[in-house]
């Protein structure tokens, strides 16, 4: 199986959000963005891929985050230093943004304390650095609870569920196999909009086909794989 990243409709829409936040046009008005959706939709994979292929920085999830910890992580990704004090972090961030305006992507922002979200809003305003918050649906309520934050959200996007065409495209690129419509429908129903069951089904199908010598995916094989996965959950 190839390790591939596919351009789904969600990816295209998310990329447009990032591009708008990075644009000089966002210096007029707010430059905060928010992408939300249930876990498993592919939000984090998009964020990591976008940061890897642009000058944006990606701040991965951390179980415990204080304001200083987050500022240090941002500073490290921007400047490769981790100052001990928040004011020193802010100085580095300000200097870096004056040289090159870069998008800061914060993953699992729904787990941040409201005071840290306020801090990010302040950093965004003070230094003009675009910030994209990514999280589960609870993030929408947390942002809405503070007018000072919600009024500064330039773009909001809901990361939708995995579609059947997404699954077909993934199998074609990752396994170089054509997924028959009925088989795709079975996997799509099993996934419930989540990428993880799709990936698990792809791994199991590849293993089963290699063991049996099959060259094409059959509906019956897919049903056997899906039924086996459901029995083990």
β-partners of residue 106 are 59, 133
DSSP 12: H
Looking at residue 232, what is its pLDDT?
A: 63
b/e sequence 163-173, b meaning 16+ C-beta within 10 Å = beebbbbbbee
Q: Which residues of the chain have pLDDT under 70?
A: 230-233
10 Å CB burial of residue 107 (0-12, 13-18, 19+) is buried
CA angle 15, 19, 21 (to 5 degrees): 120
Question: Rounded distance, CA 167 to CA 178, Å?
Answer: 10
Cα gap 107→185, rounded to integer Å: 31
pLDDT per position as a tens digit, 39-78: 999 999 999 999 999 999 999 988 778 999 999 999 999 9
Model's pTM, two decimal places? 0.91
């Amino acid at each position: 199986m190839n390790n591939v990243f596919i351009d789904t409709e969600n990816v295209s829409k998310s990329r447009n959000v990032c591009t708008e936040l990075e644009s000089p046009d966002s210096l007029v008005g707010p430059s905060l963005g928010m992408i939300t959706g249930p876990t498993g939709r592919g939000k984090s994979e998009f964020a990591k891929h976008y940061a890897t292929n642009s000058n944006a920085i990606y701040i991965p999830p951390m179980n415990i985050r204080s304001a200083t910890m987050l500022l240090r992580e941002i500073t490290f990704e921007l400047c490769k230093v981790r100052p001990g004090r928040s004011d020193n972090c802010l100085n580095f961030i300000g200097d870096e943004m004056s040289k090159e305006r870069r998008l800061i992507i914060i993953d699992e922002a729904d787990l941040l304390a409201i005071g840290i979200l306020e801090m990010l809003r302040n950093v965004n305003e003070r230094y003009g650095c675009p910030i994209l918050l990514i999280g589960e649906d609870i993030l929408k309520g947390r942002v809405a609870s503070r007018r000072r934050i919600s009024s500064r959200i330039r773009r909001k996007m809901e990361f939708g569920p995995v579609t059947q065409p997404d699954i077909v495209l993934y199998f074609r690129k990752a396994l170089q196999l054509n997924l028959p419509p009925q088989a795709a429908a079975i996997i799509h129903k099993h996934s419930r909009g989540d990428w993880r069951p799709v990936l698990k089904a792809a791994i199991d199908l590849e293993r089963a086909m290699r063991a049996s010598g099959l060259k094409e995916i059959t509906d019956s094989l897919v049903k056997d794989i899906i039924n086996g996965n459901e029995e083990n959950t």
